[in-house]
Structure 1
Amino acid sequence: MDRRGLGPWPFRSGQMALVLMLSLLLLACGFQLRGGTDVPPEMARTAITGLSAANPLFIDLQLVLNGAGVMLVPLGEATAELHIQDLRSGRRALSVGRNAQVSEYEIFTHLRYWVQGRGNDFQIPEQTLTLTRDYLFDPEGVLGQAEQEQRLRESMNRDLAQLILLRLRATAETP
């Protein structure tokens, strides 16, 4: 096997120079990875109300807000309150097979939320979010179906938390 010019690196010097030059060009033109937008500064110390701390959505919100630099604090210490209300979830039949048994279900989660500054004029008016997922029901695998539905609900909670964060970030971007 001929290893001429390869050395310990898998790139030849010409390839390495090209990669380095492209990197410098990207830096020079001001390229930045997206996602550096923060939540409004009034939300630096936020309290989540309307959910218990054991609620899976509360836990997912805590993770995404902490990741965005928001410190979750008790209401008395907060500069903003994120209030979750009307949190509902359920399941409904989407289709019925020839044998009059449900063959497809839709699960949903619906909530309303608003943000109110505490000691400042910051406010985000009431917003509504509804997520749905559907899945096929197999009467032979009822236990597996319950697990599938549970995984879908967990995924929906993570998606709801991300959507709330995106809306908060969008508020920070608007003048």
Structure 2
Amino acid sequence: MLERFVGDFCVLTGSRNLRLLILLIVFPILAGCGFHLRGSIEIPPTLNPLYLQSAPGSPVRRAIEDLLSGSDVRLTANPAEARLILRILSENRSSRVAAVDANGKTLAFELHYLVRFDAVAPDGAQQVPPQTLDLVRNFDNPDVEVLGKQLEEELIYQDFATDAADRILMRLRAVLI
């Protein structure tokens, strides 16, 4: 998109050199500000490959695998090969009533997604101490569109898993680099 904008701008000005100049200015600025394409996760090369340990069918595990695809971080299926073991210790979903009307009808829920994780070396040495993420979002509950609201609730929990995966990787990066 940026290239198209620059190209359109240069067509208006009639200068190919101006296009090159703008690109030479913009790309170093993006690189210098810490901008990385999605999937660019940094962990020290000495900690590659990474093993993910979690409950079967873990949504956070799937989200972490998606975020790591396209990065330099390699995942292994064998914990003996791993130099770092990321353990998803628990994932819990819950909700509670957040608002009711005068008749006691539930108007809104507060959805929670609680994730506990840590990271250890293959010898069991703690690399990242156990940490907890508690993600919260309000969820309106009108009388209409009951099936649509059930689907919306599931989508919110999927978003929670993706957000939790992103936060876990950010914390790993902060501690390990």
TM-score tier, shorter chain, comes to 0.7 to 0.9
Alignment of 1:9-158 (within 5 A): 10-14=11-15, 16-26=16-26, 31-32=31-32, 34-35=35-36, 38-52=42-56, 54-73=57-76, 74-119=78-123, 123-158=127-162
| Deviations, residues 111-166 of structure 1 (Å, cap 9, x unaligned) | 11111112596711122111111111012221111011001011111111111111
Distance 2:126 2:97 in 1: 42
SS in 1 for 2:136: strand
- Distance (Å, rounded) in 1 between the aligned partners of 2:29 and 2:63: 36
* Equivalent pair of 2:109/2:140 in contact (CA under 8 Å): yes
CA distance in 1, matches of 2:26, 2:54: 45
1:122, 1:108 → 2: CA distance? 27
Q: Give the deviation of 1:78 after TM superposition.
A: 1.3
Give the CA deviation at 1:37: 5.8
CA distance in 2, matches of 1:91, 1:140: 20
Q: 5+ residue gaps in structure 1?
A: 1-8
TM-superposed CA distance for 1:85, in Å, is 1.2
CA distance 1:76–1:48, shift in 2 (3 Å):
same
**Contact 1:111/1:128, CA 8 A, preserved across alignment:** yes
Q: Does structure 2 retain, via aligned residues, the 8 Å contact 1:79–1:120?
A: no
Instruction: Find the aligned partners of 2:111 and 2:30 in 1 and give their Cα distance.
Output: 44
Does the CA contact (< 8 Å) of 2:60 and 2:161 recur in 1? yes
TM-score by length of 2: 0.79
Q: Larger Rg: 1 or 2?
A: 1
Structure 1, 84-93 or 62-71: larger mean CA deviation = 62-71
> What is the CA-CA distance between 1:13 and the residue it aligns to?
2.3
Q: Segments of 4+ in structure 1 off by > 4 A?
A: 26-31, 119-122
Structure 2 gap ranges (5+): 1-9
Q: How far, CA to CA, are the matches of 1:110 and 1:13 in structure 2?
A: 56
- Contact 2:53–2:88 (CA<8 Å) still a contact in 1? yes
Identity %: 23
Is 1:166 the counterpart of 2:164 in the alignment?
no
Q: In angstroms, what is the RMSD of aligned CA positions?
A: 2.5
